[in-house]
A and B are shown apart, each in its own frame.
Chain A
Amino acid sequence: MAEPIKTDVLIIGAGPCGLFAVFELGLLDMKTHLVDILDKVGGQCSELYPEKPIYDIPALPIVTGQGLTDALMTQIKPFNPQFHLGEMIESLEKIGDPLFRVTTDQGKVFEAKVVVIAAGGGSFQPKRPPMPGIEAYEGTSVFYAVRKMEQFRDKNLLIVGGGDSALDWTLNLAPIARRVTLMHRRNEFRAAPDSVNKMRALVADGKMDLALGQVTALEGEGGQITAAIAKPDKGDPFKIECDTLLPFFGLTMKLGPVANWGLNLEGEVIPVNTESFETNVPGIFAIGDINTYPGKLKLILSGFHEAALMSQKASKYVNPDKRIIFQYTTSSSSLQKKLGVA
């Protein structure tokens, strides 16, 4: 097992609330590591609406999702947070009082006195496409990601989608698969034009097939797919034989492995108290869109407030002997020293 990374606080999710939590925890002398499944910070702000203006951040009459993310990164810089991007927390176990061992899907291990779940709508995961009965084939002959290309050598692949993932894997797998068919609902693609041109060249050379339509049904048994039935915009449904289906329908947010950590849940969110935003497990907090309490509003500004109160209680676990003196950044020389402005 990998040598554990020891930290005061592990923050799961690097969206606006996770980032601001670094600031509030930092003022109280707690060191932070953040893990996010995306390969960049900012969460939904940078993944879903980087260019969209937000109008309800106090004192910022208008700011884009990316602008808010960039400003938060500047604000938390004095606290030197450590980021682990492109990784998903897979398991969490309690090993002390409180002390948690947290493991990512890449095998990285953390030991944290406090865990803050700031995972927003959950982790971004491949979207299950709207094909009836697809669940029965998942993991056997339907895959939402390519981990090892070799797995698809000599397979009869049907790749569905029109974005970069669909086109990239079409181009990469065409040389090793027995046959590749790319299916998309229309003859226009979101993917990079260069990839689209390469794909069209392969089709022209007879090295792969392009089919225009939407999958309406899957055929197969025992988890093994044998064909997909598709419907074109106009005309009769048609059938494409395949032994492997790779659908690329973008990302959606799922609660994911959080559901298995022994926390109370209400649907897809985690109930917390409103004094400290702590969950039913002492030492594990939940802030931002992922929590719920009476009167909860899923606003970024609420998440900022939650981060501040959470930090007060977190300090009692991380530095139990330390008395917290309430201070303002405007006037406290010790806070200003931490911020590097004194």
Chain B
Amino acid sequence: MAQLYQTQRAMRNMRQAAMQRGVIAILDVGTSKIACLVLRFDADLRPVADGVGSMAGQSAFRVIGAATTRSRGVRFGEVAAMAETERAIRTAVQAAQKMAGVRVDHVIATLSGARPRSYGLAGEVEVEAGQVTGADIGRVLAACEMPDYGDGREVLHAQPVNFTLDHRSGLADPRGQIGQTLATDMHVLSVDATSIENLLFCIKRCDLELAGLASSAYVSGISSLVEDEQELGAACIDMGGGSTGISIFIRKHMIYADSVRMGGEHVTGDIAMGLQVPNATAERIKTFYGGVHATGMDDREMIEIGGDSGDWEKDRRTVSRAELIGIMRPRVEEILEEVRARLDAANFECLPSQQIVLTGGGSQIPGLDGLASRILGQQVRLGRPLRVQGLPQAATGPAFAGAVGLTLFAAHPQDEWWDFEIPAEGYSNRSLRRAFRWFKENW
């Protein structure tokens, strides 16, 4: 627990130190594209307008540079070829810096793969002074029993999502309240350490310093779910290029995250294999003509798929759109089925509200919401990321849910509970304090 506390605290300090500098970069390392946003923090938390607050820190920053580039060397949201990835990051960072006109030294990065795994932790302590203080919160966080999440894994997020004080559950901030027993539920997300290290090394090779790391599923949820969905319970499905992230939110906290190692690139691969075309052509066909619902009209709409073989017959091939949909649909269904399985494993159906929000570049397939509602449940909508100040129009699509979510994460991270000191372990300290208390009570 002490190690978790230290790493969380270190990450928090790192991010705050970087934000003190004023300019910070957001790096979304995805399988199909790498997006880089440059944020300028003004530390100006004044209300934006009459009746509008600081909007959870969103008014404090502004996007001053944005760039995106085709991703290289990333597979399933994990770095597969270091040099390629490094070059892609360099491209994105350079373009964003050029647009911003400032040099960026610190980046907050997100990664979508790395096999996230969620754990629910519970801790319980006796309240010392009758009234809950910051020290009690630190102790209850320390009292959580760490699960054995295995070697070679790191905790990426650890957030207390709920506090219970003497059978009164659902407390967001128990400080100052009077009670006997303080219990907490903590959500811990662990990922593969090697993926993090690889990404870290790539970023370091670009002369940048990592100021924070977040799970893509989590940050997509922050940006795509609206406030009441986050409050009442919703799942965000971030359909990326190489992996599909799932995050479940309730009471504004993520309680579960997972990722399915399938995404848009697999659909493209299926098309390329099915139609015998290069990947680039398959991608083009998918984005122009893709869909998941075939109608009678689609049988008549013929798509020239072309080819560079020099063979006239091969280069003049056409397929109907229905055929294309016939290739795409099973793969999309497979992804959604897998997501369904993960949601079932997380007992999503027990939540009071079962809103499902589809976001990410893959969610732009026409007709996906209809297919998803058939597989995932009735309450499905397509989500776009929140608008933040200064974001270019080109970066407002659902493909940028991760990047935009990361800006929100930078402005309003939900890890402020780690500011409380965790009591140093050891008997001597406690006995000394007990002696002191005895002394105070008897004199």
Q: Do A and B bind each other?
A: no
Chain B residues in the interface with A (C-beta under 8 A): none
